[in-house]
């Protein structure tokens, strides 16, 4: 799905310029007069544009794109983020301060891959960099895609705000980051990237603290070998060890394998109390859940815990793991829609409007709108250039009374959100209801 530009400009603001052309003849005077008039008009238009920019962009049209995987297992959730962005921009009258905003939803997945695609992510980032009118990118959803796009956008000083990236090394060094991170993502040495959700050092600590509460003494960790999956697995392993939980393994698996019976038999032989799955659901996550239950038994006897990459509403349906997901714990780098709604104010009003128009949101839905909110704030404060929006991005502060997350938020010098909400959900029947919030022990975040 690749929607076209969506103009959200009131008709009264559209000015149509009418031009007429003279036909035939070799009347030099008329031609000279016409050329002079055209030149005068161009000069006047240029002057008007300069004046508009000086007044904060009155009348200037700019572009914002979102970059999300609209195909594959994450596609349904990604599309709700698009809906939320469109709704929020509509509520703003298609404006960011005095700027008129055009928005396009871009797809970074392919049907062949069934998820985000490295080549598509790279091509998209090059396209955004080359278009001077694109002042901000809202995305990506997957951290692996972000790792490809951030440095390209950084070279062109194009601002990027993610509603869902959680890989630690995209912004700072910590449990789960890799050597060379985050510096390798910022070749011009100026940060152009921010995210509205906490990073996986927090999520890994939350998972470890949850296991401690559940009485887990040993855990077998699997990861899909991608930047996100391995990173959150590493962070969980590090925090678990600090809490005295024995990490039996932190093993990568083949996302294309037909089944995982052999891995589960190996885990069974080590008498693990829990299995932790660091993965996105698109990487055969549902099959792992099914095989875990088939070999190791239900998720009460041997706990099964996954991160937000596994958290889609379809996990508990026939499109996902179905009944095998029953009792599975899922950590989430944020709060669910119901918990945000309880904070009241603009957040509750927005979620109510979303539900009335589109139905039930997914866990990341409102974070898509919050990322758009931050991008528009940066554009509003800018002079209408890429460089200026990037300069303003990390200065953004969203007050509590207008925040779509129900609390004031902004970004630190690394681009990380100032909100540190962490929560746990647990699959039950055809739903994945909220289970508990977790206040992360920040001592577990130390490398």
Question: Any bridge partners for residue 99, and if so which?
Answer: 96
Task: Give Cα separations from 252 to 73, 99, 217 (angstroms).
Answer: 20, 47, 21
Evaluate whether 102 touches 310 at the Cβ level (below 8 Å).
no
* Residues β-bridged to residue 159: 136
User: What pLDDT sits at residue 58?
Assistant: 55
Neighbours of 320 (CB within 10 A): 21
At what angle are helices 285-296 and 261-269 packed, to 10 degrees? 50
Is 15 a domain residue? no
- Domain range spanning residue 127? 61-199+338-410
Q: Within a domain: residue 1?
A: no
User: Do 377 and 430 fall into the same domain?
Assistant: no
pLDDT at 447: 74
Whether 13 is in a domain gets the answer no
Q: How far is C-alpha 116 from the geometric centre of its chain's CA atoms? A: 13
The size of the chain, in residues, is 447
Q: Do 295 and 433 share a domain, yes or no?
A: yes
Q: Which of 308, 177, 281, 172 lies closest to 231, judged by CA?
A: 177
- What is the block-wise mean pLDDT of the chain (447 residues), using blocks of 10 residues? 35 30 33 38 39 52 98 96 98 98 98 97 98 98 98 98 98 96 98 98 98 98 98 98 98 98 98 98 98 98 97 96 98 97 98 98 97 98 98 98 98 98 97 97 91
Beta bridge partners of 221: 250, 276
**Which of 4, 170, 128, 1 shows the shortest CA–CA distance to 74?**
1
Domain membership of residue 274 (yes or no) is yes
CATH label of the domain that carries residue 65: 3.40.50.2300
How many domains is the chain built from?
Answer: 2
* Residue 291 exposed, middle or buried by CB count within 10 Å (0-12, 13-18, 19+): buried
Query: Is 259 among the domain residues?
Result: yes
Residue 69 lies inside a defined structural domain of this protein: yes
Q: Quick one: pLDDT at residue 305? A: 98
pLDDT score of 35:
37
Query: Which pLDDT does position 317 carry in this prediction?
Result: 96
The pTM assigned to this predicted structure is 0.86
């Amino acid at each position: 799905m690749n929607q076209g530009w969506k103009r959200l400009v009131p008709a009264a603001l559209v000015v149509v310029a009418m031009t007429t052309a003279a036909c035939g003849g070799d009347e030099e005077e008329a031609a000279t007069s016409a050329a002079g008039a055209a030149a005068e008009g161009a000069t006047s238009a240029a002057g008007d544009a300069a004046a508009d920019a000086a007044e904060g962009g009155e009348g200037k049209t700019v572009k914002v794109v979102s970059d999300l995987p609209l195909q594959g297992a994450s596609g349904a959730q990604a599309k709700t983020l698009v809906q939320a962005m469109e709704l929020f921009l509509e509520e703003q009258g298609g404006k960011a301060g005095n700027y008129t905003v055009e928005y396009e939803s871009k797809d970074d997945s392919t049907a062949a891959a069934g998820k985000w695609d490295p080549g598509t992510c790279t091509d998209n980032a090059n396209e955004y960099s080359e278009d001077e009118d694109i002042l901000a990118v809202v995305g990506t959803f997957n951290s692996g895609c972000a790792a490809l796009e951030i440095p390209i956008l950084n070279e062109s000083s194009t601002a990027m705000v993610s509603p869902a990236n959680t890989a630690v090394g995209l912004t700072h060094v910590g449990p789960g980051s890799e050597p060379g991170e985050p510096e390798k993502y910022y070749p011009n040495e100026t940060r152009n990237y921010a995210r509205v959700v906490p990073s996986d050092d927090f999520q890994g600590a939350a998972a470890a603290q949850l296991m401690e509460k559940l009485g887990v003494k040993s855990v077998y960790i699997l990861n899909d070998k991608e930047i996100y999956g391995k990173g959150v697995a590493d962070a969980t392993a590090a925090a678990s060890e600090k809490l005295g939980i024995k990490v039996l393994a932190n093993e990568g698996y083949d996302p294309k394998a037909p089944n995982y019976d052999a891995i589960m038999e190996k885990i069974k032989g080590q008498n693990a109390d829990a299995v932790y799955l660091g993965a996105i659901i698109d990487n055969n996550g549902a099959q792992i859940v099914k095989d875990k239950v088939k070999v190791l038994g239900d998720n009460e006897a041997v706990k099964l815990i996954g991160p937000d990459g596994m958290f889609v509403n379809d996990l508990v349906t026939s499109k996902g793991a179905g009944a095998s997901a029953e009792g599975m714990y899922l950590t989430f780098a944020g709060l669910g829609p119901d918990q945000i709604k309880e904070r009241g104010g603009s957040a509750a009003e927005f979620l109510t409007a979303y539900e009335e128009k589109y139905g039930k949101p997914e866990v990341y839905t409102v974070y898509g709108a919050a990322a758009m909110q931050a991008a528009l704030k940066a554009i509003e404060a800018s002079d209408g250039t890429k460089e200026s929006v990037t300069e303003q991005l990390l200065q953004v502060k969203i007050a509590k009374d207008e925040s779509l997350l129900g609390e004031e938020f902004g970004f630190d010098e690394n681009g990380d959100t100032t909100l540190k909400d962490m929560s746990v959900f647990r699959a039950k029947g055809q739903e994945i209801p909220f289970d508990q919030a977790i206040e992360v022990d920040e001592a577990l975040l130390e490398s």
